[in-house]
Copies of this chain bind each other. A is one copy, B any other.
Amino acid sequence: MKIENAILNLSKGQLNTGKHMKNTDSVKGEVTMVKNISKPINLRKVHIDDPFWKSEMELVRNEVIPYQWKAINDEVEGAEPSYAMRNFKVAGKITARRKELGAAYKEVIWPTDVFRPVPEEGKELEDKFYGFLFQDTDFSKWIEAVGYSLTQHPDPELEKTADEAIDIVCAAQQENGYLDTYYIINDMSKIFTHLKDHHELYCLGHLTEGAVAYYEATGKDKLLNAARRFADYVYSRFGTEEGKIHGFPGHEISEMALVRLYEVTGDPKYLELSKYFIDARGQRPYYFDIEHPDEAKKHGDKEWYHYYQAHKPVREQDEAVGHAVRAVYLYSGMADVARLTGDEELYAACERLWDSAVNKKMYITGGIGSTNIGEAFTYNYDLPNDLAYTESCASVGLVFFARRMLQMNVDSKYANAMERALYNTVLAGMALDGKSFFYVNPLEVRPEACYRDERKNHVKPVRQKWFPCACCPPNIARLLSSVAAYAYTESDDTLFMHLYVGGTVEKEYENASVLWKIESDVLGSGKLRIVCEDVEEKAGADKEETIAVRVPDWCDSYDLNAGGCKHELKKGYEYITGVFKKGDVIEITFAKKVRIMEASSRVFEDHGKVAVTYGPFVYCIEEKDNGKDLHMVSVTTDAAKAKFEKTIIEGNEITKILLPGKREKEKAESLYSVYKEPEYEDVTLELIPYYTWANRGEGEMRVWINR
């Protein structure tokens, strides 16, 4: 059965009237009742066996996690030390002395206005805090990736290392639960006095995310309890009640982390705290003004604090602004709280912010945050390719946000963007050998500009080994090693497949346990085969089970063989429903074609240019294959002329696309001269997937190619 894909329209929020799309209950502008439809699959119920994804996850396991461990222990030669584990050890000593001596302990006070204390040159390290004041999170991100990795690949030695690290971390915790080494070491009397930029609640958030992941993977709750105690303490100190601090995090993440803590512990105060943080943000008078009265003078009555998404209450926001990573972390937390509290107003804000971020401010690669100044969003349709910031972490955060929207509203518009961000910007963030990383993911690079134009210094033409502010590598690591939680969510009666990640999934339906085997060749032939490997019926079992498979926006049509089951296309998902028996097979083949894409006329930076996609991958041209001066090259707009060629890049088999094009001949003219008709030579352009760029040395690159 061949089915035309009308999803492209649907994903633009238009009402679909095609016969396969009857249930379009989430239409732009309308607000549905918020439903808590699904939750992410438990990673321990998934076994990934997909050649593409397994290899990505193996890189994380074999390269990133060990490297990261070295990095947080300051054992990487030539790299600036992280000091993360060292800070925990120093804090642990202080904590022990405080406990031991009580009031008799003579506090050593260090200044708390230094964002990144560094050791004095040539001197031995003291028992002080070093590194960025949020350096604790280096550990938290590592333990989170370790947790996910252990679900797919048990590793007693790694687990032992992790347990020992957890012991060190927990030893630093104060009796009251507080756990941020910057203040534990420097001056406990100053805690929570600089929420705007001092990241204590960001540290709480990452610690919680790491603790939950490690608990879910291993069942060990030592770190989880530490995170709970820290959260309990924060709960006791923050809130609207008199005597409590009325502030909220400068850098978001605890909003969504606390929801995870709530979901894993069932304790509603964490959800309450998350909701409080979300609703406190942006209220007048600005809490950050109260902390920093000098700021208030600068802006007077004007809206301010866009950088922190704190310029107005989140429920009133309708444009994605400010620091892009913070923004999508916040929106993710908002979506979580909306889902769990049935908060229509908050959900509506999430929808507006989604629309703004994805439909007006997102690069075709799923990158967000157009400017390096404040690592931030700019204005609608401002998507410069060479100046792009498009931080890897921002796309990671966009994936978080998308999955959370999907949990409320199973609409492929979210998963399409999620896939775009994941398969392009997030994957591009890591080298094919897993050994170097991009913080910034431009869509156009001229290496000379990166070195000689300070405006583009943030753009690196090759990946870096590590970063002093090491957020991106571990963020990529934690997402890739938990990719199944984005590929699959589940409700009582349905397994939702948002991405095509081969392997097995044990799905506990209301009245049957089904072991699904997913054989995905979506990245190759476009074919997806879903086999019911095993069924264990429960009592009273003749209720039907459903598997809902997303139909991607990059296919115009698909063949579905539902194996005799009934099926229905709703908001971009084929809901295949039946009473499954062992051996049942569902087959879907998505028609894959090279697509020549264009941007909206409003994106002036992409005018006169096209981008090439194939399946979920955005392609690009590199100097390595196409010579220098890529601005002199134009490509056909006839996708039918595309040919394919297999190639190997850094040991990975890659599908190159060959397209006819033209290269304008350089004129031997002075800087300015009277226009002459250019001459062209025919060329064959060789395109590679964007995520594989810059794996063969340094050179020019372009995603948007002149047509």
A residues contacting B by CB (< 8 A) are 8, 11-12, 358-360, 362, 364, 370-371, 373-374, 378-379, 381-382, 387, 446, 448-449, 452-455, 595-604, 607-608, 610-611, 629, 631-632, 637, 664, 666-667, 669-677, 706-707
Q: Which residues of B contact A454 (CB under 8 A)?
A: 371, 373-374, 378
Whether A607 lies near B595 (C-beta < 8 A) is no
How far is A600 from B110 in the complex, measured between Cα atoms in Å? Answer: 58
Complex Cα distance A706/B601, Å?
A: 14
Task: List B contacts of A608 (CB < 8 A).
Answer: 608, 706
Q: Is the CB of B379 within 8 A of A601?
A: no
Question: CB distance A379 to B448 under 8 Å?
Answer: yes
Q: Is the CB of B671 within 8 A of A359?
A: yes
Instruction: Identify which of A8, A453, A677 gathers the most chain B CB atoms within 10 Å of its CB.
Output: A453
- Bound state CA distance, A455 and B378, in angstroms? 10
Q: How far is the CA of A178 from the CA of B180 in the complex (A)?
A: 56
Q: Are A455 and B670 CB-contacts (below 8 A) given A596-B675, A597-B675, A601-B629?
A: no
| Least CB distance, A5 to chain B, in whole angstroms | 12
Closest to A358 in B: B671
Cβ–Cβ contact B673 & A8, under 8 A: yes
Tally of this chain's copies: 2
> How long is the Cα–Cα vector from A358 to B629 in the complex, in angstroms?
22
The answer for the CA separation of A362 and B672 in the assembled complex, in Å, is 10
Contact, CB under 8 Å: A453 / B382: yes
CB contacts (< 8 Å) of A378 on chain B: these are: 452-454
Report 7 cross-chain contacts, Cβ distance below 8 Å, ordered by A residue. Answer: A12-B670, A364-B672, A378-B453, A381-B671, A455-B455, A598-B675, A637-B677
A118 to B379, CA, bound (A): 34
Chain B hits for A706, CB < 8 A? 607-608
Q: B455 touching A667 by the CB < 8 A rule?
A: no
Docked complex Cα distance between A677 and B598 (Å): 10
B597–A672 touching, CB < 8 Å: yes
Nearest-neighbor residue (CB-CB) of A453 within chain B: B378
Nearest B residue to A595 by beta-carbon distance? B674
Closest-CB distance, A657 to chain B (whole angstroms): 15
Contacts of A631 in B (CB 8 A): 604, 607
4 closest Cβ contacts across the A-B interface? A379-B452, A604-B631, A373-B454, A598-B675
- B455 near A373 with CB under 8 A, answer yes
Among A8, A610, A629, A674, the one with the most B-chain Cβ atoms within 10 Å of its Cβ is A674
Are the C-beta atoms of B598 and A673 separated by less than 8 Å? yes
Measured in the bound complex, the distance between the Cα atoms of B382 and A275 in whole Å is 49
A600 touches B455 (CB 8 A): no
Q: Tell me the smallest distance from the CB of A590 to a CB of chain B, in Å.
A: 16
Q: How far is the CA of A360 from the CA of B603 in the complex (A)?
A: 29
In the bound complex, residues from chain B placing their C-beta under 8 Å from that of A452 are 378-379, 382
Looking at A381, A596, A601, the one whose CB has the most chain B CB atoms below 10 A away is A601
Docked Cα-Cα span, A600 to B671, in Å, equals 5
Tell me the bound Cα distance from A449 to B384 in angstroms: 11
Known: A362-B671, A371-B455, A601-B667. 19 other contacts (CB 8 A): A12-B670, A359-B670, A359-B671, A370-B453, A379-B452, A381-B671, A382-B449, A596-B675, A597-B672, A598-B669, A599-B672, A600-B667, A600-B669, A600-B671, A601-B629, A602-B629, A603-B671, A611-B672, A637-B677
Which residues in B have their C-beta under 8 angstroms from that of A667? 600-601
Q: How far is the CB of A111 from chain B (nearest CB, A)?
A: 20
A602 surroundings in chain B (CB, below 8 A)? 629, 666
Rounded to whole angstroms, the CA-CA distance of A667 and B359 in the bound complex is 15
A670: chain B residues at CB < 8 Å are 11-12, 359, 600
Complex Cα spacing A677 to B448, Å: 34
A58 vs B282: C-alpha distance in the bound complex, in angstroms? Answer: 53
Q: Do A673 and B597 touch (CB < 8 A)?
A: yes
Give Cα A633 to B671, complex, Å. 24
A8 to B607, CA, bound (A): 33
Q: Shortest CB–CB separation between residue A359 and chain B, in angstroms?
A: 5
- Give Cα A280–Cα B669 distance, bound, in whole angstroms: 37
Closest approach, in angstroms, between the C-beta of A613 and any C-beta of chain B?
Answer: 9
Closest to A376 in B: B454
